[in-house]
Structure formats: C-alpha cells, structure tokens
C-alpha cells in the first residue's frame, strides 16, 4: 500500500467510501472495514447525506465498529457537508456547516474529524462565512483539516479569498471512462472528445500546483455502466482484463492503478461493499502501469488523442 501526503497527514492512497453501507448489518460493516485495513487502508470517506436519512451511514459505521479512542487514532475519518437533500439545494452557510459537523461528530461517535470537505460548490457561497466556520472548528479541535469536493479552480480561489485554513483535498469524479478532467487538458484547443466540460482542463494541474490531493470518486463507473461491463465498455473491459492477466491481479486493481498512476498525490475512493472486491482493488495502489498501458486504457475508454 502506498501512503501519500494529505495536508499534514500521511494516508493510504486507497480510501474506503461508505456511501453504500446503510443496508449492511454490523458484521458486514466490520468485515468490509477489516478487509480494507488488512490491505493497508487507513482512510475512510463519509458525508452527512449518505444513507436514507441524514447521517445514517456515519451512524452505522460507528455503531458497527465501536472504536476505542486508541483505535480511532489509527483511522483517518473524513466527512462532507453542504448538500441539503430534500428538496435538493446547496448550503455552505456558517450555520449549516457548524450544525452539520456537530451532528457528524455525534453520529461518528468521535471528538474530531480528520478532514471536512464542502461537498459541492454553492452558488450563494460567502467565503467569509466558510472562513468563520472553519476557523471555529479548527480552534475547537473538532476538525483538523479542510478541503472541497467537485470544486473548480476558480471556485477554490474564491474560497481562498477569505479562508485561511489550507484546502488540502478536492474530491472529484474520475475513472478511465469518466475523465473529462484529463480529456479537456489533453485535447486543449481541439474540439473533440469531452472537451466541452467547463473548467475540466486545468483542474488537476491546479490541484497539483497547489498541493491539493485529488480523491477520485466513482472510480469504476462511466455513463451509468461499470467499466468492467463488456456491454457498456467492450474495448476498455477487454484491455483491463489483458493487463490484469499480465500483472496477475483482478481488473479492478488495474482500474484503480489507472488513477493511482497519476503523477500527483491521488486517492481512489472505493465504494464497494464487498470485502473481497475492496482487497482486490487495493492491489492497484502501487501497480506500476507503463505510459503505454495507461494511454491504452485511456484510448480503450473511447477517448481520442489528438
């Protein structure tokens, strides 16, 4: 397992996503977390909205694990706030951030959150309010570090106009089959592929230049299909299988490695609820895909290189 910098922390580049655990019983949650930890995973992703009701997945995670304070210290637990579900809208006001974090602390049964992410950009954001909330949470020891999710470079710059706490992570949708963040940059000036996605081109470079660790969510999906699905991705699924045979791993490890191969600190947020699949995926943490292999997967996913 490879460990990488995330602000002041050092974490596994594989992070277990807990968005889908609400239907698992306690033993299934323990098996999932055990499989991740046995593979060397130290980081765990949550959000206030995961589950059918608010804070449900955070609650189920804490109920199942019953972590002692010394066990808690060995885990890097992050959560997110800023989405209101019903009806859907975004809220990064001071009051919303503070009340969401207080509820996450109770649900997770912990005194502190290692990393808090603003889940989505909010068109009505007031950076001074975010700054006030982050300063208070940091000063009280309730949150150790801060970051964002699904934010563009300019949205991060707007936050930084007032927020003094370093923004150390940006969680973004990225897989071999959903790669506008790379495709736009690779196709700069040329109107092909997914190049019309706003702000995709410079975002990974911006994160790299600003020491913002990228966290890739939905790493095994694209266009509503699993990337291993031959019906949805005939060329990509075949290429993943060929490379899996070469490296003696499962295709899910190769799909993971396609992301961990990026030159900047990048984490893969794995959302499987299947312990064996998590263990298989974690084998992609350090798999050294060659340039030829990385680009062959990119092209097999349907991207065009100019």
Cβ-based nearer residue to ligand NAP, 143 or 227: 227
* Contact status: 208 vs ligand NAP (CB under 6 A): no
Q: From the CB of residue 304, how many other CB atoms can be counted at a distance below 10 Å?
A: 14
Q: Active-site residues: which are they?
A: 50
Cβ-based nearer residue to ligand NAP, 47 or 133: 47
* Contact status: 201 vs ligand NAP (CB under 6 A): no
Give least dist CB 37 to ligand NAP, A.
Answer: 17
Cβ-based nearer residue to ligand NAP, 182 or 270: 270
* Contact status: 272 vs ligand NAP (CB under 6 A): yes
* Contact status: 28 vs ligand NAP (CB under 6 A): no
* Contact status: 217 vs ligand NAP (CB under 6 A): yes
Length of the chain: 306
Given candidates 221, 256, 266, 285, which one binds ligand NAP under the rule CB under 6 A? 221
Instruction: Name which of residues 37 to 76 contact ligand NAP (CB under 6 A).
Output: 45
Decide the pairing of beta strands 213-217 and 113-118. Answer: unpaired
| Piece of the chain touching ligand NAP by CB under 6 A; list 84-92, 93-101, 205-213, 264-272 | 264-272
Give least dist CB 255 to ligand NAP, A.
Answer: 8
* Contact status: 150 vs ligand NAP (CB under 6 A): yes
Given candidates 219, 222, 265, 275, which one binds ligand NAP under the rule CB under 6 A? 219
* Contact status: 228 vs ligand NAP (CB under 6 A): yes
Whole-number Å distance between alpha carbons of 21 and 37: 16
Residue nearest to ligand NAP (CB): 271
* Contact status: 225 vs ligand NAP (CB under 6 A): no
Q: How far is CA 262 from the centre of its chain?
A: 15
What secondary structure does DSSP assign to the chain, as a single string?
Answer: --EEEETTEEEESEEEE-TT-TTS-HHHHHHHHHHHHHTT--EEE--TT-SSSTTHHHHHHHHHH---HHHHHT-EEEEEE-EETTTTEE---HHHHHHHHHHHHHHHT-S-EEEEEE-S--TT--HHHHHHHHHHHHHTTSEEEEEEES--HHHHHHHHTT--S-EEEEEEE-BTTB-HHHHHHHTTTS--TTTTSTTHHHHHHHHHHTTPEEEEESTTEETTEETT-TTT-HHHHHHHHHHHHHHTS-HHHHHHHHHHTSSS-EEEEE----HHHHHHHHTTSS----HHHHHHHHHHTT----
| Piece of the chain touching ligand NAP by CB under 6 A; list 12-20, 22-30, 92-100, 288-296 | 12-20
Cβ-based nearer residue to ligand NAP, 187 or 219: 219
Given candidates 149, 184, 187, 256, which one binds ligand NAP under the rule CB under 6 A? 149
* Contact status: 284 vs ligand NAP (CB under 6 A): no
Whole-number Å distance between alpha carbons of 190 and 174: 21
* Contact status: 17 vs ligand NAP (CB under 6 A): yes
Token duo for residue 290: 């060659």
* Contact status: 218 vs ligand NAP (CB under 6 A): yes
- Enumerate binding residues for ligand NAP (CB under 6 A): 17-20, 45, 149-150, 171, 217-221, 226, 228, 252, 269-274, 277
């Amino acid at each position: 397992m490879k460990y990488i910098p995330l602000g002041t922390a050092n974490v596994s580049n594989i992070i277990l996503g807990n968005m889908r655990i609400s239907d698992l019983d306690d033993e299934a949650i323990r098996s999932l977390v055990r499989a991740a930890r046995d593979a060397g995973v130290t980081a765990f992703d949550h959000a206030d909205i995961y589950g059918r009701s608010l804070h449900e997945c955070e609650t189920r995670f804490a109920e199942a694990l019953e972590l002692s304070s010394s066990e808690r210290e060995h885990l890097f637990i992050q959560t997110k706030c800023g989405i209101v579900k019903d009806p859907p809208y975004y809220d990064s006001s001071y009051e919303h951030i503070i009340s969401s974090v207080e509820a996450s602390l109770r649900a997770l049964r912990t005194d502190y959150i290692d990393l808090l992410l603003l889940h989505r950009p909010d068109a009505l954001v007031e950076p001074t309010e975010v700054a006030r909330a982050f300063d208070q949470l940091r000063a009280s020891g309730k949150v150790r570090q801060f970051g964002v999710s699904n934010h563009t470079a300019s949205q991060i710059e707007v936050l930084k106009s007032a927020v003094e706490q370093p923004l150390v992570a940006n969680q973004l949708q990225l897989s071999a089959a959903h790669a506008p963040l790379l495709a736009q940059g690779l196709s700069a000036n040329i109107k092909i592929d997914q190049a019309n996605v706003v702000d995709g081109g410079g975002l990974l470079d911006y994160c790299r230049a600003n020491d913002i660790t990228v966290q890739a969510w939905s790493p095994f999906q694209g266009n509503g299909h699993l990337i291993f699905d031959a019906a949805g991705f005939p060329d990509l699924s075949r290429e993943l299988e060929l490379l899996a045979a070469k490296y003696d791993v499962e295709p899910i490890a190769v799909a993971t490695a396609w992301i961990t191969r990026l030159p900047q600190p990048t984490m893969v947020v794995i959302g499987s609820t299947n312990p064996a699949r998590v263990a298989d995926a974690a084998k992609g943490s350090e798999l050294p895909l060659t340039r030829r292999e990385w680009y062959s997967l990119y092209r097999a996913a349907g991207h065009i290189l100019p």
